[in-house]
Copies of this chain bind each other. A is one copy, B any other.
């Protein structure tokens, strides 16, 4: 298969064919493409164009395209399809994908679509999967897998696998279960090919397996698959019965989403937004953070104004306000993001919170001393007010110390309270840090001025 690269020219030819209602040209253009490529095309075209192309694809391909589409494009497309058609597509999908797609439908459409699925096993699997929390192993797993019994021999296994495999796209591992469907171990494809067919598998399967429970949170699933380099992970229920398996491609999606969520938080964007999204989506994603920053700024202005009297006898202090506020924000984000990343990667280590704060204090002490010396030297040379020189460097040092501790403490505390620690890198805490930095600066200025 030639790798497909979507281009403006390709889209133009396709759009022309759609305008001309030229089915054959459209089929020629898209029929041979991978579903992921077709989905990419759909993301670029408008609703009517997609509705024109979609029925021209065969059932299997169109089912695959549905899975690959962006959520909003899929939603629009599904609304135009009769329930019978949706049911046909769902029968072609793996159970986990089918459950994801049907999960996006309204309750009544869902009922209707389910009633049209002829394959009763598939319908049952989908309903089972819909019961699990989306953010858990149950929500990630698919029901399709190959399972054999402990007391079979290899030949029986191969026969049974042939039967089961017809339903499944890919075989990664063969699961070994007992009569009660309790997961006992794993047989690798390699073993299956290497050992004599008359051997009983009880001698050959590997009982050392890593599995998760249906209610294991998805972040933990990610960490386990990543840590142990697993391609597929079996999921069991509370008494150890084999319920399904999670494949790495689904976990890659979770990893990307988690990373993006944290990235968006620290860059001040409140929801998923892509460069090609509409203006309104961008505004909605960015305005909240800007408004928080704005109200923080207004509050800063109010704080500064209320110190106007003392500042007017010491006006040089004004010059360094942006510096102090910016440094408070920067230091806070640094400290928080290291903790957030450590929690996400599970590399937070075994140190207690007290030890982490103590270490953070040491780091802040070193950074604070260096930054304060730099600013002290600058003001000592270029400013004629020794009071200013002292105030700015002592404030900067205090602000760095405080923002570091605050930035470390907040995500640790949020995590303890089972709230997403990434919130600590978000607009609210950063703005609080800015303001507190400014307040410290102003009071220190008053104090130093009073002393000298």
State whether B279 touches A294 (Cβ < 8 A).
no
State whether B334 touches A322 (Cβ < 8 A).
no
State whether B172 touches A326 (Cβ < 8 A).
no
State whether A347 touches B231 (Cβ < 8 A).
no
State whether A226 touches B6 (Cβ < 8 A).
no
Interface centre among A11, A294, A331, A400 (most CB of B within 10 A): A294
Look across to chain B and name the residue whose beta carbon is closest to the beta carbon of A163.
B194
Per assembly, the copies of the chain total 2
Look across to chain B and name the residue whose beta carbon is closest to the beta carbon of A258.
B259
Given contact pairs A326-B325, A374-B294, A289 touches B334 in the complex (Cβ within 8 A) = yes
The interface bits of chain A over 322-361 (1 if a CB of B lies within 8 angstroms of the residue's CB, else 0) are 1111110111011011110110010111110000100100
Residue A440 CB within 8 A of the other chain = no
The interface bits of chain A over 207-245 (1 if a CB of B lies within 8 angstroms of the residue's CB, else 0) are 011100000000000001011111100000000000000
Q: Which residues of chain B come closer than 8 Å to A19, judged between CB atoms?
A: none
State whether A297 touches B268 (Cβ < 8 A).
no
Selected from B231, B259, B263, B294, the residue in CB contact (under 8 A) with A327 is: B294
Q: How many residues of A contact B (CB 8 A)?
A: 121
State whether A170 touches B231 (Cβ < 8 A).
yes
Q: Is the interface of A mostly helix, strand, loop or mixed?
A: helix
Q: Which residues of chain B come closer than 8 Å to A337, judged between CB atoms?
A: 263-264, 267-269
Residue A248 CB within 8 A of the other chain = yes
State whether B8 touches A275 (Cβ < 8 A).
no
Alpha-carbon gap, A336 to B301, bound state (A)? 27
Binds B, one of A78-86, A98-106, A121-129, A363-371: A363-371
Alpha-carbon gap, A161 to B249, bound state (A)? 26
Alpha-carbon gap, A445 to B290, bound state (A)? 22
State whether B350 touches A11 (Cβ < 8 A).
yes
Alpha-carbon gap, A315 to B359, bound state (A)? 42
Q: Which residues of chain B come closer than 8 Å to A331, judged between CB atoms?
A: 286, 290
State whether A375 touches B325 (Cβ < 8 A).
no
State whether A326 touches B350 (Cβ < 8 A).
no
State whether B290 touches A322 (Cβ < 8 A).
no
Given contact pairs A275-B348, A298-B378, A170 touches B158 in the complex (Cβ within 8 A) = no
Given contact pairs A8-B350, A287-B370, A1 touches B298 in the complex (Cβ within 8 A) = no
The interface bits of chain A over 299-316 (1 if a CB of B lies within 8 angstroms of the residue's CB, else 0) are 011101100100110011
Q: Which residues of chain B come closer than 8 Å to A301, judged between CB atoms?
A: 319-320, 322-323
Q: Which residues of chain B come closer than 8 Å to A209, judged between CB atoms?
A: 1
Q: Which residues of chain B come closer than 8 Å to A432, judged between CB atoms?
A: none
Binds B, one of A23-31, A47-55, A132-140, A185-193: A185-193
Residue A274 CB within 8 A of the other chain = yes
Residue A414 CB within 8 A of the other chain = no
Residue A36 CB within 8 A of the other chain = yes
Selected from B169, B282, B318, B349, the residue in CB contact (under 8 A) with A318 is: B318
Alpha-carbon gap, A371 to B290, bound state (A)? 8
Given contact pairs A193-B161, A291-B371, A438-B322, A226 touches B210 in the complex (Cβ within 8 A) = no
Given contact pairs A1-B208, A190-B171, A275 touches B347 in the complex (Cβ within 8 A) = yes
Alpha-carbon gap, A255 to B249, bound state (A)? 12
Residue A76 CB within 8 A of the other chain = no
Given contact pairs A293-B327, A301-B319, A349 touches B274 in the complex (Cβ within 8 A) = yes
The interface bits of chain A over 1-45 (1 if a CB of B lies within 8 angstroms of the residue's CB, else 0) are 101001110010000000000000000000000101000000010
**Interchain nearest-CB distance for A233 vs B (Å):** 11
State whether A256 touches B210 (Cβ < 8 A).
no
Alpha-carbon gap, A193 to B269, bound state (A)? 50
Q: List 30 A-B contacts (CB under 8 A).
A: A1-B210, A6-B350, A8-B350, A34-B210, A165-B194, A172-B172, A172-B231, A189-B189, A231-B248, A251-B252, A255-B259, A256-B259, A262-B263, A264-B337, A267-B333, A268-B337, A269-B334, A276-B347, A276-B351, A282-B359, A290-B330, A290-B334, A294-B375, A297-B320, A297-B322, A304-B318, A305-B316, A312-B315, A318-B318, A322-B322
5 A-B pairs besides A274-B341, A290-B327, A318-B321 with CB distance below 8 A are: A162-B193, A275-B349, A286-B363, A300-B322, A308-B315
